[in-house]
Structure 1
């Protein structure tokens, strides 16, 4: 007769294999730490507010291109406990987020919404002329806000309350994830599968790595070392021009949308989109 340990051991091994790849001594891997309840509503992105030690999740809650007033922002603790499910309501389809001081910037289809973090109120909204599908946001040390338009092959800049076209590049097919670093703006092309660095001055684009399908969020985990999520359900590790897979949940039909990384905790945060959860993994071996 099988005992309970024998009965459940294959299941445990399957789960471990499903959520942890490359978990060997000296090699990078992801180890699942926690997940929220499935009460989020199409979570597309997550960001860590270091000053207040909280997380914010953008919930589309419906069609990602519909002006339906269904979208909202969730506030939660770094252990995954949701403190305010609908902390800020009244958005349409919120996606990328960035923080400058006490302001949370959020893309919302064709505009950028500014939320006062202290009050939890929407205080401003910037309509981006010509925008079709605003997606990700990143901010630099000077407080400049960069915004990708995935349907228009464009990147916009919001500076001192004025929005302008920063870059239109025909090399892009569907620019999505952005990451502002000191030496340039990192861009992942969701359709083309290429990972770029774009210089701030001449706006020249250089391919860092290729073959990264459905690229969504970008985080830097070390100098020149990145994680890039594949919306279909992967997290890829990029070092130099080498791409390796750390997480693959495609068979479970669990998406990996716009990720975030908290270096102090080595915590990788993955919104699961249609899975309606936020999942946290500890980065090991890096």
Structure 2
């Protein structure tokens, strides 16, 4: 009986893990200068990719934004330059917001030019960005464990005291936050709830559309998280020494875009 029960439990576990997987579609040339984040543009054959092109935490002026199409062809590897170590991005009303060390850079998409820079007082390691209600922009500071919100160009501190904060996601009027292990969610920034616990801190976090989430860790793993908090690995590229940084996701096409950081390309996968 014990063997039967163990067999049933193992079968259920394997079936659960097999429910979601990633099928590789394409990968770009390995000429991208340290891609950290990918942002697919809704309704367009366009991907924005932030390129650090230097030290991840140094204001060296080498960072820039690349443009790819949705087949992985590099359209412009230096679409907008003049950044430092750009990471997370969000798009709103023709403006691309980019987390860049101690400031959020605002790029006018039509002009392909930096419009302005919004400094965050005291910030040291701005990392991920998500677009909230009414155009508010949330940005994480990984070095100081804080989350800031920018409204009408004015930044304010929303949350502090977070350990290993990185990936951010605003969905269903709630802010999801990846910390050193836990994925948290909050409505007001004051009270947080643990959604799931991962083996290590999340880098990218994206909504599937049914309450489930996809997360990545920089070291090379992408996870599927169900709304009940179950965490299942779908991709592991650590042996190939390929990172999985701040992923992008197209919910309509169910395509995950993975920036490989030191492997210097973007890889697209179909979510199964």
1:272 counterpart = 2:260? yes
1:184 counterpart = 2:184? no
1:116 counterpart = 2:108? yes
Equivalence for 2:232 = 244
- 1:231-283 deviations in whole A, cap 9, x for unaligned? 10000110121111000000111000000111221100000000000000001
Quick one: structure 1 residues 141 and 183, their matched pair in 2 at CA, closer, same or farther if it must change by over 3 Å?
closer
Equivalence for 2:248 = 260
Equivalence for 1:233 = 220
Query: In the aligned structure 2, how far is the partner of 1:178 from the partner of 1:24?
Result: 26
1:214 CA displacement: 3.0
Quick one: structure 1 residues 23 and 96, their matched pair in 2 at CA, closer, same or farther if it must change by over 3 Å?
farther
For structure 1, the 5+ residue unaligned runs are 1-21
What is the alpha-carbon root mean square deviation over aligned residues?
A: 1.6
Equivalence for 2:6 = none
1:118 CA displacement: 0.6
1:163 CA displacement: 1.1
Query: In the aligned structure 1, how far is the partner of 2:203 from the partner of 2:269?
Result: 17
Q: Quick check: 228-237 or 47-56, which moved more? A: 47-56
**Structure 2 length normalisation: TM-score?**
0.91
**Structure 1 length normalisation: TM-score?**
0.87
Equivalence for 1:5 = none
1:25 CA displacement: 11
- Whether the 8 Å CA contact 1:23–1:29 is kept in 2: the answer is no
1:32 counterpart = 2:19? no
- Whether the 8 Å CA contact 1:23–1:30 is kept in 2: the answer is no
Query: In the aligned structure 2, how far is the partner of 1:212 from the partner of 1:205?
Result: 20
Q: Which structure 2 residues correspond to residues 1-286 of structure 1 after superposition, within 5 A?
A: 27-168=19-160, 170=161, 172-189=162-179, 192-200=180-188, 203-239=190-226, 240-284=228-272
Query: In the aligned structure 2, how far is the partner of 1:25 from the partner of 1:154?
Result: 34
